[in-house]
Amino acid sequence: MCNSCFGKTEFLPYKKFKTLDSVDIYCAAVYINNIKKLIRGLKYHNQRELAYFQAKIMYDYWENLRISENEFLLVPVPLFPDREKHRKYNHMLLVAKEFEKLSQGRCTTAEQLIKRIKNTKPQYKLSRKDREENLKDAFELIEGYEIFKDKNILILDDIFTTGVTLKEMIKTFKNHGFENLCCFTTSCSEHAV
């Protein structure tokens, strides 16, 4: 990711992208061209240095939103332990850590607040109905989650396609009394715009 490619990022309008279960979803760009290469490089090709650029794209977008002045607890979408062990890292955790640095103390990463307890199949080949079944009851909050209930939670993910992953995470948080939730993805699929 060179400066020229980074400069060609086409941001979506600086406003709420969608609402899921009364939770606002924000999305920085469309999953095409350099954004697609960036996400795939980090996610599948061990190009961990790209986490900074993905976080920078998200942070630059975030800075233009009215809610960016608030303090947030960053919650990257977790991977199932076997998948993380195979990949050797959670790409969204790397992005969250970089986003935290860029925020200069306004955001803190909570990498263990929620965990994936179901070994789900990769989503990209599944229909919406299959995605919903695949992710049903896939997440669980850790013991001691209560101390975070008054925080502003910002769930981070890379691609919004159908919103099923975020919806399931929102459900898990809401079932445990969390109210201050917001979601932010780096990109969305073209048909989701």
pLDDT tens per residue across span 80-131: 999 899 899 999 999 999 999 999 989 999 988 999 998 887 777 778 888 8
Any idea what DSSP says for residue 11?
A: B
The dihedral over CA atoms of 148, 55, 130, 190, expressed in degrees to the nearest 10, equals 140
**3-state helix, strand and coil shares in percent for the chain, rounded to the nearest 5:** 40, 20, 35
- Domain boundaries 15-192, corresponding CATH code: 3.40.50
pLDDT > 90 in the chain, percent: 76
Residues 118, 108: Cα–Cα separation, whole Å: 26
Q: What is the pLDDT of residues 107-118, one digit of tens each?
A: 999 988 999 998
Nearest to 92 by CA among 142, 42, 135: 42
pLDDT digits (tens, 9 = 90+) for 7-45: 778 899 999 999 999 999 999 999 999 999 999 999 999
Distance CA 178, CA 174 (A): 5
Outline where DSSP puts E strands in the chain: 18-20, 23-30, 72-76, 107-109, 114-116, 139-141, 153-160, 181-188
- The domain locations on the chain are 15-192
